[in-house]
């Protein structure tokens, strides 16, 4: 009987960089998936102009607890913009032309793309969208009022997802990391998913929201819902965001 966990760790040990595609001068993969022709991205509110209440780090950490349900609530476009920027947004280093993101990434490869399913967000129809961090915009993948029910079924968390204001789905394009890091890059995508979800938990606490992380789901069903390429993209992690207390 094989041991997939042991095999994974053995085959992703510190690599022989002489065999890595970057060293072999194989063309670098693009840092983001392209926007399909005919798709008009939606501009998000500027995160630098969004006022968020101050919250001590300790309070943000201690406010998290497992969520069994959400009340019917909604998010504004500013709140969505803030959450996306905190988890995958880009900013410039002072005195440099280089952009960095707000979460760590091994080798600064950023192999993870953010998709999200809208439940209740002002001015956005229910559907699945993708975040474009380079321009802080979003694009619609699919609009369908039944999607919350489909995602709830695929994730075995029906009640939580169907009542969430928004549910994030993080999907990896592993070759972005593997190109520079060899097989070691496969480890980094799972570590990075944890960084992103923790950033979401902290950011959500600042706007009075809770996060329910979900790592058990039907991979194929989730990939089909988001329109992922089964050959090059892996669904990794889900997180539903909502409020315990209803909107007033």
Q: Where are the domains of the chain?
A: 39-46+63-242
Give 165: exposed, middle or buried? Use CB within 10 Å, 0-12, 13-18, 19+.
buried
The pLDDT assigned to 109 comes to: 93
Q: Which of helix, strand or coil describes residue 124?
A: strand
Residue 223 has pLDDT above 90, yes or no: yes
Summarised one tens digit per residue, pLDDT across range 237-248 is 999 999 987 655
The pLDDT assigned to 96 comes to: 67
Q: Which CATH superfamily is domain 39-46+63-242 in?
A: NADH Oxidase (3.40.109.10)
Q: How far apart are CA 195 and CA 82, in angstroms?
A: 16
| Buried-exposed string 171-196: b where 16+ CB fall within 10 A, e elsewhere | bbbbbbbbbbbbbbbbbbbeebbebb
Report phi then psi at 208, rounded to 5.
75, 25
Run of H or E residues at 189: helix 184-206
The pLDDT assigned to 146 comes to: 92
Summarised one tens digit per residue, pLDDT across range 43-59 is 999 988 899 888 999 99
Residue 236 has pLDDT above 90, yes or no: yes
Residue 173 has pLDDT above 80, yes or no: yes
Residue 153 has pLDDT above 60, yes or no: yes
Which residues have CB under 8 Å from 53's CB, separation 6+? 206, 207
The pLDDT assigned to 242 comes to: 94
Q: Where are the beta strands (DSSP E) in the chain?
A: 42-43, 90-92, 99-101, 112-118, 127-132, 137-143, 166-172, 210-214, 234-242
94 vs 148 pLDDT, higher one:
148
Beta-bridge partners for 90: 101
Quote the tokens at residue 129: 């969208």
Residue 230 has pLDDT above 80, yes or no: yes
Q: How far apart are CA 84 and CA 97, in angstroms?
A: 22
C-alpha Rg value of the chain to the nearest Å: 18
Q: How confident is the model at residue 158 (pLDDT cuts 50, 70, 90)?
A: confident
For range 123-133, the mean pLDDT: 95
Mean pLDDT of the chain: 91
**How distant, in Å, are the alpha carbons of 18, 175, 182, 189 from that of 14?**
12, 17, 9, 15
Give 92: exposed, middle or buried? Use CB within 10 Å, 0-12, 13-18, 19+.
exposed
Share of the chain above pLDDT 70, in %: 97
pTM value surpassing 0.75:
yes
């Amino acid at each position: 009987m094989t041991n997939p966990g042991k095999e994974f760790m053995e085959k992703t040990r510190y690599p022989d960089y002489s065999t890595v595609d970057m060293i072999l001068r194989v063309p670098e993969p693009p840092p983001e998936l392209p926007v399909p022709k005919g798709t008009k991205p939606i501009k998000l509110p500027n995160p630098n102009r969004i006022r968020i209440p101050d919250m001590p780090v300790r309070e943000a950490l201690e406010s998290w607890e497992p969520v069994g349900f959400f009340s019917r609530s909604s998010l504004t476009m500013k709140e969505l913009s803030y959450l996306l920027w905190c988890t995958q947004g880009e900013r410039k280093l002072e005195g440099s032309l280089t952009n960095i993101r707000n979460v760590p990434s091994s080798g600064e490869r950023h192999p993870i793309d953010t998709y999200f399913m809208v439940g209740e967000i002002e001015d956005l129809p229910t559907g699945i969208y993708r975040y474009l961090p380079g321009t802080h915009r979003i694009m619609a993948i699919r609009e369908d009022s039944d999607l919350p029910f489909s995602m709830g079924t695929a994730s075995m968390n029906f009640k939580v997802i169907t009542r969430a204001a928004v549910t994030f789905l993080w999907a990896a394009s592993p070759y972005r990391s593997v190109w520079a890091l060899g097989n070691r890059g496969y480890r980094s995508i799972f570590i990075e998913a944890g960084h992103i979800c923790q950033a979401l938990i902290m950011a959500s606490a600042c706007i009075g929201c809770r996060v329910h992380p979900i790592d058990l789901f039907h991979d194929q069903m989730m990939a089909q819902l988001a329109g992922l390429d089964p050959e090059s993209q892996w669904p990794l992690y889900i997180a539903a965001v909502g409020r315990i207390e209803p909107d007033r």
